[in-house]
Amino acid sequence: MSEVLLDVRDMAVQFGGVRAVDGLTFRVHEGEVLSVIGPNGAGKTSAFNCITGFYKPSGGTVTFGGARITGRRPAVIAASGIARTFQNLRLFGDLTVLDNVRAGMHVRIRQNFLDAMLHTPRYRRGEDAATAEAHRWLDFVGLDHDRTAPIRNLPYGEQRRVEIARALAREPRMLLLDEPAAGLNHGEKAQLLALMRRIAGLGIAVVLIEHDMGLVMEVSERIVVLSHGKEIADGTPAAIRSDPAVIEAYLGAEDEEAHAEAERIAAEAGPGGTTEVES
């Protein structure tokens, strides 16, 4: 197997008395597509927030590309090569589509304030290159929309794409996607699946939190299942489907949605095993 890129060991975070993440351990390998699933409240997003520095873990270590990043500032972690999207879109609403994507390139554009004030050749070169690159990433995610419009004028599905383009413009080695399919219709989900494959094709590791099991089973090389802040299973989609602990975790949950999901997983785990994306 290829090299370990992200190594999370015994990570924990508490909010008051609630242990949102409680001794979580898992690894992500270079270029791998990994899904993190689990019932609502299992600590998936909290784990993402710990890895990306938005929460300070109360215990454990996070190592990325061989360097410890535990408790570092989000900007430092992002600059080291982890990009993310947010569960609820977090775009720069008043700014143009292009500007949103340029945010991802911020740390790479070489320009100081004098360049900007005097419009030096370096400024023009840098800005032109950034614009060209922003267009390239928007082409990559397949955005077919006026790119000079304020982002909040775009339909929801398009905004999702721009958020991914913005994260890709960071040129990450690992991309964390927090429920990218939420609120998308079937057609858009199919496009998202294709997009995730293209991203994996660039050699970027993709870590996905997602509730759409069809999508998860289709795209993941490996799945980590969380429950109550711990990993309870880790394996290939086929292995996860038939894992009794996973089915138990979903059925044991009091959440109705989780029940429905568990039933779906059970159905998908039936003989034959090949699943199709629901689209």
Partner 1 sequence: MNDESTLRAGEEASAYAGAVEERGRVNVALAGRGVGTPKPNRRPSAGRTLPGVLASRWLGPGVALAALALPYLNSSTYVIRIAVDALIFVMLAVGLNIVVGYCGLLDLGYAAFFAIGAYTSGLLSTRYGWPLIATIPVVVAAAVAGGLLIGGPTLRLRSDYLAIVTLGFGEIIRITANNLDFTGGPDGLYGIPGFGDFGLRSDIALYWVTAVVVCLAVLFAGRLGRGRLGRAWRFVREDEDAAEAMGIHTYRVKFAAYIAGAVFGGLAGVLFAAHQTAISPPSFNFLWSALILMAVVLGGMGSTPGVVAGALAISLLPELLRGAENWRYLIFGLLLIVAMIFRPQGLLPARAGEARRRGRRVRGGAS
**Shorter beta-carbon distance to partner 1: residue 59 or 74:** 74
**Shorter beta-carbon distance to partner 1: residue 87 or 242:** 87
1 binds partner 1 (CB under 8 A): no
**Shorter beta-carbon distance to partner 1: residue 133 or 231:** 133
Site for partner 1 in 80-109 (CB under 8 A): 83-84, 86, 90-96, 98-99, 102-104, 106-107, 109
Torsion over CA: 186, 234, 21, 10 (sign):
negative
145 binds partner 1 (CB under 8 A): no
Q: How many CB atoms lie within 10 A of CB 187?
A: 10
194 binds partner 1 (CB under 8 A): no
Report CA-CA distances (Å) from 117 to 100, 106, 107: 22, 17, 19
Report CA-CA distances (Å) from 41 to 210, 226, 230, 258: 13, 9, 11, 11
202 binds partner 1 (CB under 8 A): no
Instruction: State in angstroms the smallest separation of the CB of 78 from partner 1.
Output: 4
Strand order from edge to edge, sheet including 18-29: 18-29, 4-15, 59-64, 67-68
Site for partner 1 in 204-243 (CB under 8 A): none
Instruction: State in angstroms the smallest separation of the CB of 79 from partner 1.
Output: 4
57 binds partner 1 (CB under 8 A): no
Nearest Cα residue to 266 out of 279, 253, 244, 252: 244
Instruction: State in angstroms the smallest separation of the CB of 229 from partner 1.
Output: 22
Choice from 18, 40, 68, 116 touching partner 1 (CB under 8 A): 116
**Shorter beta-carbon distance to partner 1: residue 129 or 251:** 129
- Strand 222-227 and strand 33-37: the pairing is parallel
Q: How many CB atoms lie within 10 A of CB 71?
A: 14
155 binds partner 1 (CB under 8 A): no
**Shorter beta-carbon distance to partner 1: residue 76 or 194:** 76
Q: How many CB atoms lie within 10 A of CB 2?
A: 10
Rounded Cα distance between 175 and 31, Å, is 10
Nearest Cα residue to 207 out of 41, 28, 22: 28
**Shorter beta-carbon distance to partner 1: residue 7 or 127:** 127
Chain residues in the site for partner 1 (CB under 8 A): 52-54, 73-76, 78-79, 83-84, 86, 90-96, 98-99, 102-104, 106-107, 109, 111, 113, 115-119, 123, 126-128, 131-136, 139-140, 148-150, 166-167, 170
